[in-house]
Amino acid sequence: MEPEELTGLALEAAVGAGAGYADARWVREETEGLTVTDDRVDDLEAEESSGLGVRVLVDGRWGFAASAVLDPARARELAARAVEVARASAALPGDPVRLAPVDPAVATWSTPLGRDPFAVPLGERVGLLLAACDAQRSVPGLAHAKATVDLWRRRTVLWSTEGTRLDQTVTQTGAGIEAAAVGDGDLQQRSWPNSFRGQYQAGGWEVVEAADLVGNGPRVAAEAVQLLRAPPLPERVTTVILDGQQLALQVHESVGHPLELDRILGMEAAYAGTSFVGPEDLGRLRYGSPLMSVTADATTPGGLGTFAFDDEGVPAQRSPLVTDGLVAGFLTSRETAAGVGAGSCGAMRADGWGSMPLIRMTNVHLEPGQGRLDDLVADTPDGLLLSVNRSWSIDDRRVNFQFGVEAAWEINGGRLGRLYRNATYDGRTTEFWSSLDAVSGAESWVVWGVPNCGKGQPFQNARVGHGVAPARFHQVHVGVGR
């Protein structure tokens, strides 16, 4: 049965059962993940999932029901179940949900692809990853080499009772290598282009080719072996330069999440937490130095948060979150935007057919400054270059954070020096961003993928993007717990 028939049946049944608003989202997701460790295929996951999720408003209360087991009768049952869920939610009083208006969208859209990654023969993928492991294993002293490729394609057919009729296909690709050195009771790892299975972008096989997993293998492996012999980073307060990979997660945790309006309004209090930012801080709160401008942009080519319409049918858009250090906007949904008298910025996304959409980061970028990473290092008399995330944690209002990175290089007189292992740093959000005094330029600006953003109950995983260029911060506490 065609998805449009299922979504149509579900909407009809929802309205018949008393829904004032309904949307039906049919999703088909294909995923393929391949892991090669040393000289063998360690894991291969090929998965196909399709299902229907029906969301309704009944007397201003949300209800949602979803299933992977689909036929016309089940589509109608899901609508009835969603209405039942919504009616039960009236057990407690509260203001009815209102939705910010949006023009019904009728469109078809797909991620532009160079080479369709799913069409790349499996043998070619395996061969590349074996070669990437071989390149790492050429370095003496390496314990284990790993190489990965992940492919995701999600087709979403979204219909609503307001007339939205969307058919959108997003394709995302990621690849990476991880070199592990083991000895003397320690394990050190170096990754490329990023940790946690590499760099992910919207696009095709060209994302894998750009990573040059084979060419970078020997360097990455050599750095892992060097890390095993490197001293632990001592505790001190100093200047740090964050490379793009680490800075992307710093933006994610300490800027993106605190500016999600559902967190600000307390809707995520019990699990992910709230925010130190209040609705009244818009245009008033100094978040960071005047060099700090952050933008949410779902239109950026290659971002994991790039699409044409969100899961409420709101068009992808670019909107400021922080301008010259001042809070300039929030990530919003139709419901939360209506609460503050604004329009939705198009940030509602579900992690599949089985989940209600939540406010999620799209691509949250730190806008570039000037120069390259080399210039930034040359301009730093004393400090550290911190590279590639390996640990992250932040409190439930997004104030106190602590990160660990794979590698830290001392900067002395504008030149990179000694390598340190087990490097960590901590801080408080607005103090940290206020110490920002340089951001590299557009030539160093890369949209990094964060494919594992958790939020919501039931738990949902979102894939988001962050465009950043390396940046410098002062008076940072490093070497936590030493």
Partner 1 sequence: MTAFGSERLLEVAEAALGTGGADDVEALVYRQAGGLTRFASSRIHQSAWREDLWVRVRVAVDGNRVGTATVHAADADAVRRTARRAAEVAGTMPPDPGYPGMPGPAAYPEAGRHDEATAAADPATRAGLVAGVIRRLPAGIVAAGACETRELEIALANTRGVRAAGATTAASFSILADAGSGTGWAEGTEPALADLDVAALGERAARKAVDSREPRELAPGAYPVVLEPTAASVMVQWLGWLGFGAKAYDEGRSFLVGRLGQRVCSPLVTIVDDATAADTIAVGFDFEGVPKRRVTLIDEGVAASLVYDFRAATGHGVEPTGHGLPAPSAEGALPMHLAMLPGHIPQAELVAGLERGLLVTRFHYTNLVNLMDTTITGMTRDGTFWVEDGKVAGAVRNLRFTQSILEALSSVRAVGAETELAAEDGYGAARAPALAIDRFSFSSATTF
**Does position 323 bind partner 1 by CB under 8 A?**
no
Residue closer to partner 1 by CB (options 255, 411) is 255
Residue 457 Cβ vs partner 1, minimum distance, rounded to whole Å: 5
Residue closer to partner 1 by CB (options 61, 472) is 61
Residue closer to partner 1 by CB (options 87, 115) is 87
> Phi and psi at residue 428, in whole multiples of 5°?
-120, 145
Residue 55 Cβ vs partner 1, minimum distance, rounded to whole Å: 9
**Does position 443 bind partner 1 by CB under 8 A?**
no
**Does position 198 bind partner 1 by CB under 8 A?**
no
**Does position 107 bind partner 1 by CB under 8 A?**
no
Residue closer to partner 1 by CB (options 43, 103) is 43
Name the segment binding partner 1 (CB under 8 A); options: 266-274, 310-318, 409-417, 432-440.
266-274
DSSP states along 178-241: EEEEEETTEEEEEEES-TTT-EEEESSTHHHHHH-HHHHHHHHHHHHHHHHHSPBPPPEEEEEE
Report whether 317 contacts 305 (CB < 8 A).
no
End-to-end CA distance of the chain: 61
Give the one residue of 13, 14, 17, 66 binding partner 1; rule: CB under 8 A: 66
Residue closer to partner 1 by CB (options 80, 321) is 80
**Does position 143 bind partner 1 by CB under 8 A?**
yes
Could you tell me how many residues make up the chain?
Answer: 482
Residue closer to partner 1 by CB (options 116, 443) is 116
The pattern of x and - marking residues 349 through 368 that bind partner 1 according to CB under 8 A reads -----xxx------------
Q: Count the residues of the shown chain that bind partner 1, applying the rule CB under 8 A.
A: 85
**Does position 122 bind partner 1 by CB under 8 A?**
yes
**Does position 461 bind partner 1 by CB under 8 A?**
no
Amino acid found at 143: A
Give the one residue of 428, 435, 437, 474 binding partner 1; rule: CB under 8 A: 428
**Does position 119 bind partner 1 by CB under 8 A?**
no
Distance CA 470, CA 242 (A): 6
Name the segment binding partner 1 (CB under 8 A); options: 359-367, 396-404, 433-441, 444-452.
396-404
Distance CA 165, CA 103 (A): 11
Residue with tokens 């023969």: 121
**Does position 140 bind partner 1 by CB under 8 A?**
no
**Does position 62 bind partner 1 by CB under 8 A?**
yes
Distance CA 44, CA 179 (A): 20
Distance CA 348, CA 354 (A): 15
Give the one residue of 59, 103, 116, 186 binding partner 1; rule: CB under 8 A: 186
Give the one residue of 112, 270, 443, 475 binding partner 1; rule: CB under 8 A: 270
Residue closer to partner 1 by CB (options 128, 373) is 128
Beta partners for residue 24, in sequence order: 54, 159
Angle 444-446-449 from CA coordinates, rounded to 5°: 155
**Does position 108 bind partner 1 by CB under 8 A?**
no
- Cβ neighbours of residue 42 closer than 8 Å, sequence gap 6 or more: 35, 36, 146
**Does position 277 bind partner 1 by CB under 8 A?**
no
**Does position 61 bind partner 1 by CB under 8 A?**
yes
- Cβ neighbours of residue 422 closer than 8 Å, sequence gap 6 or more: 232, 233, 404
Residue 85 Cβ vs partner 1, minimum distance, rounded to whole Å: 4
**Does position 276 bind partner 1 by CB under 8 A?**
yes
User: Strand 165-183 vs strand 106-110: parallel, antiparallel, or unpaired?
Assistant: parallel
Distance CA 86, CA 65 (A): 10
Report whether 321 contacts 255 (CB < 8 A).
yes
Residue 69 Cβ vs partner 1, minimum distance, rounded to whole Å: 6
* Alpha carbon of residue 324 to chain centroid: 24
Residue 391 Cβ vs partner 1, minimum distance, rounded to whole Å: 5
**Does position 81 bind partner 1 by CB under 8 A?**
yes
**Does position 51 bind partner 1 by CB under 8 A?**
yes
